């Protein structure tokens, strides 16, 4: 695509052209080529489909597309054939030809290879992931054909920046990075800040183990993030945005780089966006593997090229962020919601989810679950629905024990709390957090003490070292855990754990320290008997501990 | 700092301070002492040690007094059972973190951590104390850093950067492994930026950086804070 | 605590330098006051072989560094109502515990002392109690009721704690817990 200067109407034209172009095809084969499926041979499957389509002479009526993730990571490589959204599981290059022959040529879907788990999608509501697995993330036309960039067109053509902020406020959208701050309110703060220039930082530093929602989003639908940034920039009056992504996500980086280049080439980014005089550009910044860099003040330091260390607030980034200028920091999932809100209105969005927590949330469902993968559910859904209906429960023969909500600094919740609605406030009340959206299901083979120890170790390694509670406190908690799991502990240690945990939660400087004791505190709250069993009887009912007992007094 | 005067209550006492003043300073100017470690007047507040935590009515959270500016009508509590418990906990954690063996430390009797433990009545640590083998760098002509005693308050880093203006000192690694280094992790003697100004030794609240052969008690504490403030003011003018 | 009957007090010397005991004796004339209320039933400055039963207060100096001391401490705890850690070694491990920074410090410590730094008859002694892997302050091994830090603790603080306890009060260590 040559660099051209388009105007607002041209976007509509591109969309129409692309829709016509698509209409020529009777079938569209979407091969998931995201980080989950590629190691399973998705690229070979893609090639096999392309070859099969040519061989069987249906290339005129069937398009093979390289897409992002439909969410079913358990059964990759996953292939979806439209129309009808037929999802094939565990596709191999050998099976590709058979699928093309039967499904495309003969029109008979290969039933035995179809993904049979209807429940997985039934309770989901895919808004942020609307295009995931359906469009080719490498082609901006695909996104535009799905109505993409129409929201920024709408903003530029018909809305004032205040109007945009009003819509976002009406929607009730809250930050998806974990803290749940009302997005509209944040935008208002930055918009009202006097100083200039203003900046936007999109946070894609997803450092939690076992969490991959943002990565999948970037790999599957990078333009949704860019459009969200554009709208935010228009609303707050920013001219420069930084997309902070961890360097451990090579495919997402590559996809985003391409997306940014494409957006620039049709003047969706640059000095004169769609000939309206609106100016905005996005630059990628790469993280160097620090979990704490996802914290909003640490990310600022890192973007500026300094050590990713959180700093005290106030001043809040809305007033003094990047280089002391007003800065809007937003998680990419939050940003991907924005185009939908603009297209459909804030009122429409506010009706999804619960009144206090509107919209949907993406979760990475992992652990001892039948259907691991990326899911998106409306706020307010119960944990039981997530774990048992969507996740299908724990594998045969095992018993559900707990579910860890919120990543490494989340809380371990027992089966008695399964009816809990998933929203910011309910989760906080029971000691868990929304966090980055990690849900780990634990079965009776998991030891709760060992689980809490594992996540504490993670936080010990990721503490930045600035404040005493987090730096000097977590390591002591870890040592006590070492004692408990090696048979060298006393009952008083439980009190020490509790005291230290509460102290670290209350006294730490940033969100990392404030939430790091959550696994410890929730396991102590809901699974104290297991701690006592470890200490008094030197017994681990899951058989995980007391394995490498070192000689101690 | 603006000219406007803000009225707030600290421990029930009404105080009037200029807008933008930090709670810690507002309290100190009115005779209310809040314990601190990383804070040193004249240097950018760091908010790391968490000793100066205070309660502000209307919020369930705790605030570090050194970095929280006053606001009109604020009601601050600097002493409570909970705060005392938390301050003791911070001192315990610092004492347990590295080899803090007061009896053989150069800063014995002139150490802020030691005197805080005394004031707060921290008569033992509930955590097992660590004994560390961090590197001691005594290559400099007269400055010595014993990282086993460092509490990572970063006063030295800040004084080196903000007052001396050379930024020889900084941190390497993170979390429990964080350490003070010279230049890009050079031996001190090889540091090309160090001006041997001794400020780092003078601001060190513990015995981590000291001047060989010079009694620690001679240089520490009040005078240096005054010295820094004075320098600061001169700079501003 | 009964004042009519004298309070039975014991003192124990584990891995320490005896400085805390010296400081105890430094109470000077205050000792005479104390002596009216207490009876010392066991101490390194007395010739009693076995730790007595039903002791009211035991002051312990020094950290736990070998197996014999471990036994001794457990015995004392079992027989004592109020157990006090006296001095930095008992409270923190202090200098005695500096060896904890090394792996296998139990072996290393003996090697350094008896082999590396001797001119003749270099050999690791075998007829002494086995060193523990790590040196522990008292409260990591048994429950300790009160702590008097200091290297050594000042005579006045020792006197303060004892006087408070003898009059049935809880000593407040604020301003009195000076390490080193």
Residue C64 domain-assigned (yes or no) = yes
Q: Span A79-108, mean pLDDT?
A: 88
Amino acid B149: pLDDT: 93
Whole-angstrom Cα distance, residue A336 to residue A175?
A: 11
> Do the Cβ atoms of C139 and B124 come within 8 Å?
yes
pLDDT (0 to 100) of residue C3:
47
Chain-chain contact of B123 with C98 (C-beta, under 8 angstroms): no
Is 90 exceeded by the pLDDT of residue A382? yes
Test B62 with A476 for CB contact under 8 angstroms.
no
Banded model confidence at residue A2, pLDDT cuts 50, 70, 90: very low
Position B228 scores a pLDDT of 65
Most A CBs within 10 Å, among B175, B185, B205, to test the A interface: B175
pLDDT computed for residue B225 by the predictor: 64
pLDDT of residue A551: 44
In chain A, % of residues over pLDDT 90: 53
Q: Would you state the pLDDT for residue A217?
A: 92
Q: How far apart are CA B110 and CA B215, in angstroms?
A: 10
Is C19 within a domain?
yes
Q: What is the pLDDT of residue A553?
A: 39
CB-based contact, A493 to chain B, within 8 Å: no
Here the CATH number for the domain that contains residue C93 is: 3.40.50.700
Which chain C residues contact residue A553 at CB under 8 A?
70, 132-134, 136, 141
Report the C-alpha gap between A376 and A127 in whole angstroms.
8
Task: State yes or no: pLDDT of A174 exceeds 50.
Answer: yes
Which pLDDT band, with edges at 50, 70 and 90, does C120 fall under?
confident
B96 in C contact zone (CB under 8 Å): no
Q: Which of B118, B126, B98 is nearest to B35 (CA)?
A: B118
Q: CA A171: distance to chain centroid? A: 20
| Burial of residue B82 (number of CB atoms within 10 Å: 0-12, 13-18, 19+) | middle
Give the pLDDT confidence of C152-176 residue by residue, as tens digits: 999 999 999 999 999 999 999 998 8
Considering only CA atoms, which of B198, B220, B200, B199 is closest in space to residue B107?
Answer: B220
Q: A16 Cβ partners below 8 Å, 6+ apart?
A: none
Contact A235, A187 (CB under 8 A): yes
Domain limits for position C61: 7-98+133-166
Check residue B224 and give its pLDDT.
63
| Residue A433 and residue A406 in contact, taking contact as beta carbons nearer than 8 Å | yes
Domain assignment present for residue C2? The answer is no
Q: List b or e across A129-156, with b for residues whose CB sees 16 or more CB atoms inside 10 angstroms.
A: bbbbbbbbbbbbbbbbbbebbbbbbbbb
DSSP A225-256: HHHHHHHHHHHHT-SEEEEEEETT-HHHHHHH
Name the burial class of residue A60, with classes exposed (0-12), middle (13-18) and buried (19+) by CB atoms within 10 angstroms of its CB: exposed
How far apart (Å, rounded) are the C-alpha atoms in residues C137 and C95? 11
Kindly list the structural domains of chain A, giving each domain's residue range(s) and its CATH number in brackets, ordered by start.
25-116 (3.40.30.10), 147-350 (3.40.50.11540), 360-443 (3.10.20.600), 448-536 (1.20.1440.230)
Tell me the average pLDDT across A117-130.
86
| A35: its two tokens | 């980080």
Provide the pLDDT confidence category of residue A105 given band limits of 50, 70 and 90.
confident
Q: Give the pLDDT confidence score for residue B219 in this predicted structure.
A: 58
Q: Give the mean pLDDT of B88-108.
A: 91
Strand C7-13 and strand C80-86: pairing?
A: unpaired
- Mean pLDDT of the A34-56 span: 90
Flag whether C119 is in a domain.
Answer: no
Chain-chain contact of C134 with A551 (C-beta, under 8 angstroms): no
Confidence at B20, pLDDT banded by 50, 70, 90? confident
What are A29's strand-pairing partners? A64, A81
Tell me which residue of B184, B133, B178 sits closest to C101, measured CA to CA: B133
Residues A465-497 pLDDT 10s: 999 999 999 999 999 999 999 888 888 899 999
Q: Between A and B, how many residue pairs show a Cβ–Cβ distance under 8 A?
A: 97
C-alpha atoms less than 13 angstroms from C-alpha of C109 in its C-beta half-sphere = 20
Specify the 3-state DSSP secondary structure of A38: helix
pLDDT surpasses 50 at A167: yes
Q: Kindly tell me the burial class for residue B39, based on how many C-beta atoms sit within 10 Å of its own C-beta (0-12, 13-18, 19 or more).
A: buried
Nearest-by-Cβ selection for B118 from C97, C139, C178? C178
Q: How many CB pairs under 8 A join B and C?
A: 79
Query: Tens of pLDDT along A72-82?
Result: 888 878 999 88
Longest pairwise C-alpha distance within chain B: 54
In degrees and rounded to multiples of 5, residue C75 shows phi and psi of: -60, -50
Q: Among all residues of chain B, which has the CA nearest to that of A496? A: B126
Asked if the model's pLDDT at residue B233 lies above 80, the reply is no
State whether B109 and C149 contact (CB < 8 Å): no
Q: In chain B, what percentage of residues exceed pLDDT 70?
A: 90
Burial of A118 (0-12, 13-18, 19+ CB in 10 A): exposed
Summarised one tens digit per residue, pLDDT across range C2-45 is 446 889 999 999 999 999 999 999 999 999 989 999 999 999 98
Coil, helix or strand for A65? strand
Q: What angle do CA C103, C106, C109 make, to 5 degrees?
A: 95
Q: Quick check: A189 and A316 in contact, CB under 8 A?
A: yes
Question: How many domains in chain C?
Answer: 1
Is a pLDDT exceeding 90 seen at residue B231?
A: no
Closest alpha carbon to B169 in B138, B199, B139 = B199
Closest CA to A512 of A409, A439, A433, A417: A409
Which letter does DSSP use for residue A169 in this model? H
Q: What is the ipTM of this complex?
A: 0.90
Mean pLDDT for B141-167 is 92
The closest alpha carbon to A150, from A330, A341, A328, A2, belongs to A341
pLDDT bracket for residue A552 (50, 70, 90):
very low
Per-residue pLDDT tens digits for B196-221: 988 898 889 998 999 888 777 655 55
Specify the CATH architecture of the domain B85-236. Answer: 2-Layer Sandwich (3.30)
Taking contacts as CB-CB distances below 8 angstroms, the residues of chain B near C98 are 99, 101, 131
Mean pLDDT of chain A: 89
Over range B43-65, report the average pLDDT. Answer: 91
Helices (H), B80-221: 81-97, 112-120, 155-158, 199-203
**How far is A214 from C126, CA to CA, in rounded Å?**
63
Within a domain: residue C157?
yes
Instruction: Using the predicted structure, report yes or no on whether residue A26 has a pLDDT greater than 70.
Output: yes
Q: Does B135 touch chain C (CB under 8 A)?
A: no
CA distance A475 to A336: 37
How far apart CA A166 and CA A429 sit, in angstroms, is: 30
Check pLDDT > 80 for residue B230: no
Q: What is the pLDDT of residue A172?
A: 93
- Is the Cβ pair C134, A552 closer than 8 Å? yes
Q: What is the pTM of this model?
A: 0.88
Task: Evaluate if residue A1 carries a pLDDT over 50.
Answer: no
Q: What is the pLDDT of residue C163?
A: 92
Query: Average pLDDT in the B40-61 region?
Result: 91
Domain spanning B5-79, CATH architecture: Roll (3.10)
- A66, A77 Cβ separation under 8 angstroms: no
Nearest to A506 among B62, B68, B69 (CB): B62
User: In Å, how far is C46's CA from the nearest CA of chain A?
Assistant: 30
d(CA B75, CA B13): 9
Set of chain B residues whose Cβ sits within 8 Å of the Cβ of A503? 85-86, 89
Give the pLDDT confidence score for residue A413 in this predicted structure.
93
The pLDDT tens digits for A311-342 are 888 888 998 889 999 999 999 999 999 999 99
CA nearest to A362, candidates A450, A422, A310: A422
Q: What is the pLDDT of residues A245-290, one digit of tens each?
A: 999 999 999 999 999 999 998 889 999 888 888 999 999 999 888 8
Percent of chain C with pLDDT over 90: 64
Q: Verify whether the Cβ–Cβ distance B133 to C101 is below 8 Å.
A: yes
Q: Which residues contact C69 (CB under 8 A, 6 or more apart)?
A: C14, C15, C62, C129
CATH 3.10.20.740 region(s) of chain B? 5-79
| pLDDT greater than 60 at residue A49 | yes
What would the DSSP string read from start to end of C96-137?
GGGGGGSTTHHHHHHHIIIIIT-SSS----SSSPPEEEEEE-
């Amino acid at each position: 695509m040559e660099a051209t200067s388009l105007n607002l109407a041209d976007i509509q034209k591109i969309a129409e052209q692309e829709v016509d172009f698509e209409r020529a095809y009777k079938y569209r084969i979407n091969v998931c080529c995201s980080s989950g499926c590629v190691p399973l041979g998705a690229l070979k499957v893609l090639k096999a489909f392309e070859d099969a389509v040519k061989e069987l002479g249906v290339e005129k009526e069937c398009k093979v597309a390289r897409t992002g993730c439909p969410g079913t990571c358990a059964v990759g490589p996953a292939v979806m054939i439209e129309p009808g959204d037929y999802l094939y599981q565990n596709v191999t290059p050998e099976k590709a030809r058979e699928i093309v022959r039967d499904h495309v040529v003969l029109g008979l879907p290969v039933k035995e290879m179809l993904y049979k788990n209807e429940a997985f999608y039934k309770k989901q509501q895919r808004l942020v992931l609307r295009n995931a697995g359906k469009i080719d993330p490498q082609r901006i036309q695909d996104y535009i054909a799905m109505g993409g960039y129409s929201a920024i067109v709408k903003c530029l053509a018909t809305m004032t920046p205040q109007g945009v902020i009003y819509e976002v406020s009406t929607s009730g959208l809250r930050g998806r990075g974990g803290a749940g701050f009302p997005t509209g309110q944040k935008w208002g703060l930055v918009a009202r800040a006097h100083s200039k220039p203003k900046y936007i930082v999109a946070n894609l530093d997803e450092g939690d183990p076992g969490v991959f929602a943002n990565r999948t989003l970037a790999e599957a639908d990078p333009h949704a993030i860019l459009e969200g940034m554009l709208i935010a920039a228009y609303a707050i009056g920013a001219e420069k945005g930084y997309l902070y992504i961890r360097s451990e996500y090579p495919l997402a980086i590559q996809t985003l780089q391409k997306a940014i280049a494409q957006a620039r080439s049709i003047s969706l980014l640059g000095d004169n966006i769609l000939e309206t005089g609106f100016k905005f550009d996005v630059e990628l910044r790469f993280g160097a593997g620090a979990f704490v860099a996802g914290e909003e003040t640490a990310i600022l330091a890192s973007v500026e090229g300094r050590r990713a260390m959180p700093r005290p607030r106030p001043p809040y980034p809305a007033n003094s962020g990047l280089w002391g200028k007003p800065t809007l920091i937003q998680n990419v999932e939050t940003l991907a919601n924005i185009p939908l809100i603009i297209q459909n209105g804030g009122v429409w969005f506010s009706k999804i989810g619960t009144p206090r927590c509107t919209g949907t949330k993406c979760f990475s469902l992992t652990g001892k679950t039948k259907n691991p993968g990326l899911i998106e559910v409306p706020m307010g859904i119960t944990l039981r629905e997530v774990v048992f209906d969507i996740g299908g429960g724990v594998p045969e023969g095992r018993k559900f024990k707990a579910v860890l909500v919120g990543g490494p600094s989340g809380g371990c919740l027992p089966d008695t709390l399964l009816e809990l609605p998933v929203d910011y406030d309910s989760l906080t009340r029971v000691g868990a957090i929304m966090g980055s959206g990690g849900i780990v299901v634990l079965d009776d083979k998991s030891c709760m003490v060992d689980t809490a120890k594992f996540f504490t170790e993670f936080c010990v390694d990721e503490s930045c070292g600035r404040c005493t509670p987090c730096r000097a406190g977590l390591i002591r908690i870890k040592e006590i855990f070492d004692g408990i799991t090696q048979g060298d502990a006393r009952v008083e240690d439980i009190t020490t754990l509790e005291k230290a945990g509460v102290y670290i939660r209350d006294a730490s400087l940033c969100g990392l320290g404030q939430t790091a004791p959550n696994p410890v505190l929730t396991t102590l709250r809901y699974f104290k008997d297991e701690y006592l069993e470890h200490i008094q009887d030197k017994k681990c009912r899951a058989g995980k501990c007391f394995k490498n007992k070192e000689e101690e007094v | 700092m603006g000219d406007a005067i803000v009225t707030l209550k600290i421990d029930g006492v009404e105080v009037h301070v200029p807008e933008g003043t930090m709670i810690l300073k507002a309290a100190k100017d009115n005779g209310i002492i809040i314990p601190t470690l990383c804070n040193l007047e004249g240097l950018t507040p760091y908010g790391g040690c968490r000793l100066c935590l205070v309660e502000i009515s209307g919020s369930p959270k705790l605030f570090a007094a050194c970095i929280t500016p006053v606001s009109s009508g604020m009601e601050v509590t600097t002493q409570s059972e909970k705060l005392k418990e938390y301050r003791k906990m911070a001192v315990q954690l610092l004492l347990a973190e590295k080899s803090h063996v007061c009896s053989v430390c150069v800063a014995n009797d002139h150490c802020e951590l030691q005197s805080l433990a005394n004031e707060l009545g921290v008569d033992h640590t509930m955590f097992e104390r660590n004994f560390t083998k961090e590197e001691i760098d005594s290559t400099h002509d007269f400055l010595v850093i014993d990282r086993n005693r460092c509490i990572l308050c970063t006063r030295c880093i800040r004084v080196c950067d903000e007052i001396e203006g050379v930024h020889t000192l900084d941190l390497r690694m993170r979390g429990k492994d964080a350490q003070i280094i010279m230049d890009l992790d050079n031996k001190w003697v090889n540091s090309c930026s160090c001006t041997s100004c001794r400020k780092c030794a003078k601001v060190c609240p513990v015995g981590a950086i000291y001047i060989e052969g010079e009694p620690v008690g001679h240089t520490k504490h009040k005078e240096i804070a005054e010295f820094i403030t004075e320098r600061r003011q001169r700079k501003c003018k | 605590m009964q004042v009519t009957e004298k309070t039975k007090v014991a003192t124990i010397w584990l891995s320490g330098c005896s400085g805390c005991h010296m400081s105890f004796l430094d109470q000077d004339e205050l000792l005479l006051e104390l002596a009216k209320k207490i009876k010392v039933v066991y101490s390194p400055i007395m010739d009693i072989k076995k730790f007595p039963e039903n002791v009211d207060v035991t002051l312990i100096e020094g950290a736990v560094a070998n197996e014999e001391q471990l036994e001794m401490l457990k015995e004392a705890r079992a027989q004592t109502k109020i157990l006090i850690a006296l001095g930095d070694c008992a409270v923190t491990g202090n200098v005695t515990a500096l060896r904890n920074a090394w792996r296998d410090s139990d072996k290393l410590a003996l090697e350094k002392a008896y082999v590396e730094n001797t001119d003749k008859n270099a050999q690791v002694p075998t007829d002494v109690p086995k060193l523990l892997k790590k040196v522990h302050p008292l409260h990591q091994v048994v429950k300790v009721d009160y702590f008097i830090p200091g290297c050594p603790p000042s005579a006045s603080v020792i006197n303060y704690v004892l006087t408070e306890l003898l009059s049935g009060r809880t000593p407040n260590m604020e301003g009195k817990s000076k390490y080193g």
